[in-house]
Structures are given as structure tokens and as C-alpha cells.
Amino acid sequence: MFGISFKLGPAIKPFSTIMESRFGMEALGSIARLNDLQLKIQKTVPNVPHEPEKIYDATAEHLLRMWAYLGIFVIIETIIAYFSIRNISKDTQGK
């Protein structure tokens, strides 16, 4: 599953790899151990299967990988912001 509130089609999966929110939610899901939580329906109907989601693995390796991806986003966006601001200042110097 790569949708949070509802499942998304396979055509959307490539777009999810460039979204920071995906990696943030994976990290939060790992920290909160979402795979270990019981579904509400399982309290009344215990036989309802609950398949753990791989994206919410509660392992140190998975969490560190998500943090690394988020760190890469910070570095890339900082570089983009630097060059964008630098170009803006060049435009206003001649006026």
C-alpha cells in the first residue's frame, strides 16, 4: 500500500517515490509500530486477517533508511533553494 487513507493504483506508485510525505509516513509508521496494532474490527470479529504492510517494518534499518531519504530531500531542496535565491538576487542587481 502506498496510499495512507485509501489504496492507490499502480500507476501512482512512481510518483510516490518523489514525495517526501511517503517517506515521512513510513518512518512514523515504523516508530508507532503500525503493523502490531489490532484492527478495530478484530475486537468484535477476531478471525479477520490483518496483513502487515512492509512499508511499516518496525526495524532500525528501515527507520534509518527512511531518515536517510528524508535527509537527501533536505539536501536537494536546499541546493535548489540556494540557486533559486541566487538567481533572484542577480535579476534585481541590474535595476
Q: Would you say the pTM of this structure is higher than 0.75?
A: no
The two counts, helices (H) then strands (E), for the chain are 4, 0
Task: Tell whether 1 is covered by a domain.
Answer: no
Task: Tell whether 7 is covered by a domain.
Answer: no
pLDDT tens sequence across 17-70:
788 888 888 888 888 887 777 766 667 777 777 676 777 888 899 889 999 999
Domains in the chain: how many in total? 1
Cα–Cα distance, 35 to 17 (Å, whole number): 21
Task: Tell whether 29 is covered by a domain.
Answer: yes
Structural domain that includes position 70? 13-93
Task: Tell whether 74 is covered by a domain.
Answer: yes
